[in-house]
Amino acid sequence: MELLINVLAATVVAGTPLLLAALGELICERSGVLNLGQEGMMLMGAVAGFVATLTSGSLVVGVAAAILAGIAMSLLFAFMAVTLAANQYAAGLALTIFGIGLSAFVGAGFVGESIDGFSRVAIPLLSDIPLIGRVLFDQDPLVYMSLVAFVAVWVFLRHTRGGLLLRAVGEDPEAANANGLKVLVVRYLAVAFGGGMAGLAGAYLSLAYTPMWTENMTAGRGWIALALVVFATWRPERVVLGAYLFGAASILHLVLQGLGWNISTELLAMLPYVVTILMLVLLSFNPARTRLNTPLSLGQPYRPGR
């Protein structure tokens, strides 16, 4: 039982950065913009959060810096992909390559430094619930933020006018524009939200998961988050499930080693990536479902007054 709780809690921790980034990307894609720059934005969030925390001594400042860095990166992307109507694939890739380079450059002087990262804070009462309490409510504050973000995104998409407008823009920007919606403004906001969440996801890595900075520390999580959104068919509740599933895959090697299995770490480290591909394969058996749920204008630039 104790082992199970520990494994589940570790799963939630490993899944949290994926959850944060994927929720942001979900909103972004629901507006019709595909931002492949997740990895770059996460890295910038990670390095900004770490450097800000190290210099200011405050984790709150670090988190704020990470979110701002993510937003700044996403605005660069929005300028290219939304304003200049550039190819979204190319612009997103550019953002990732730029983010990898810039983060390594900014963080070069901070490799090897260490900070006191977020520690766990048990929520009174809630953490006393058997099993779930220890797994979900005896975690660090950023995990709680991710849960709040999930509920907020879910409510926003399902039950608010704003969510409706966002979906309208993603499904049919022409019609949304005809109804007086500022399509480009909505898309900018959605991209910026995605950037902020990716920055936060990066901060989770450098401030909570492993409180330090190393080059390329996201190790493909930004890409996994992108796959996660597809896998979740653009539904927030499925994003949560998927994120924790990937979390489980990425800590499996620790569990197996704990159980005394003698498998090479390098081979086990492949698991999350293999699982991602398997998930995409699984999804392909039901193409109709994917087609039905994909925001119709996803990936297509919109020029008003064409």
Partner 1 sequence: MLLLERRPVDSTLMRWTSPVLALVLTVITGFVLFMAMGKDPVEGLTFFFITPVSDLIGLAELGLKMAPLLLCAAGLTVCYRAKLWNIGAEGHFLMGALGASVVAVQLVDVSGFWVLPVVLVAGIVAGMLWAAIAAGLKTHLNCNEILTTIMLNYIALNLLLYAVHGPLKDPYGFGFPQSVMFGDAALLPDLIPGTRLHLGLAFGLLAAVSVWVLFARSFIGFQLNVVGQDQRAAAFAGFSARRLTWFAFLVGGATAGLAGASEVTGPIGQLVPQVSPGYGYTAIIVVFLGRMHALGIIAASALLALTFIGGEMLQIAMNMPKAITGLFQGLLLFYLLTCDAFIHYRIRLKQPAIKPTPKAVTAATQES
The answer to whether 42 and 205 are in contact (CB under 8 A) is yes
Judged by CB under 8 A, which stretch of 77-85, 138-146, 147-155, 169-177 contacts partner 1? 77-85
Judged by CB under 8 A, which stretch of 15-23, 60-68, 85-93, 240-248 contacts partner 1? 85-93
- Crossing angle of helices 236-258 and 221-231, in 10° steps, is 130
Handedness of CA 151, 154, 156, 159 (dihedral sign): negative
If one asks whether residue 162 binds partner 1 (CB under 8 A), the answer comes out as no
| Per-residue contact flags (x/-) with partner 1 for residues 8 to 37, judged by CB under 8 A | ----------------------------x-
The single residue among 42, 76, 192, 217 that binds partner 1, judged by CB under 8 A, is 76
| Per-residue contact flags (x/-) with partner 1 for residues 246 to 275, judged by CB under 8 A | ------------------x-xx-xx--xx-
Within 207-226, the residues that bind partner 1 by CB under 8 A are 215, 219-220, 223-224, 226
Residue 131, Ramachandran bin (φ over 0: left; ψ between -120 and 50: alpha; else beta): left
The single residue among 4, 105, 116, 159 that binds partner 1, judged by CB under 8 A, is 105
The single residue among 5, 86, 123, 255 that binds partner 1, judged by CB under 8 A, is 86
- Shortest CA distance to 46 belongs to which of 121, 91, 99? 99
If one asks whether residue 174 binds partner 1 (CB under 8 A), the answer comes out as no
Distances 68 to 12, 23, 61 between C-alpha atoms, Å: 25, 17, 10
- Shortest CA distance to 85 belongs to which of 304, 303, 305? 303
The single residue among 104, 121, 181, 241 that binds partner 1, judged by CB under 8 A, is 104
Question: Is residue 260 packed enough to be buried (19+ CB in 10 Å), middle (13-18) or exposed (0-12)?
Answer: exposed
If one asks whether residue 241 binds partner 1 (CB under 8 A), the answer comes out as no
270 DSSP 8-state letter:
T
The single residue among 280, 289, 296, 300 that binds partner 1, judged by CB under 8 A, is 280
The single residue among 69, 91, 168, 207 that binds partner 1, judged by CB under 8 A, is 91
Instruction: Show Cβ contacts of residue 216 under 8 Å, excluding neighbours closer than 6 positions.
Output: 43, 100, 104
- Number of residues near partner 1 (by CB under 8 A): 50
The whole-angstrom separation of Cα 259 and Cα 272 is 19
If one asks whether residue 182 binds partner 1 (CB under 8 A), the answer comes out as no
Judged by CB under 8 A, which stretch of 10-18, 57-65, 73-81, 200-208 contacts partner 1? 73-81
If one asks whether residue 185 binds partner 1 (CB under 8 A), the answer comes out as no
Return the half-sphere exposure (C-beta side, CA atoms, 13 A cut-off) of residue 218. Answer: 31
If one asks whether residue 109 binds partner 1 (CB under 8 A), the answer comes out as yes
The answer to whether 40 and 221 are in contact (CB under 8 A) is no
- Locate 113 and state its tokens: 């430094």
Distance in Å, CB of 10 to partner 1, minimum: 21
If one asks whether residue 121 binds partner 1 (CB under 8 A), the answer comes out as no
Looking only at the bridges linking them, the beta strands covering 138-139 and 121-122 are: antiparallel
If one asks whether residue 122 binds partner 1 (CB under 8 A), the answer comes out as no
Kindly give the residue spans of alpha helices, DSSP state H, lying in the chain: 2-30, 38-56, 59-78, 88-107, 132-136, 141-159, 161-171, 173-178, 183-204, 221-231, 236-258, 265-269, 271-284, 287-293
Binding stretches for partner 1 (CB under 8 A):
36, 76, 79-80, 83-87, 89-91, 93-95, 97-102, 104-105, 107-109, 215, 219-220, 223-224, 226-227, 230, 264, 266-267, 269-270, 273-274, 276-277, 280-281, 283-284, 287, 303, 306
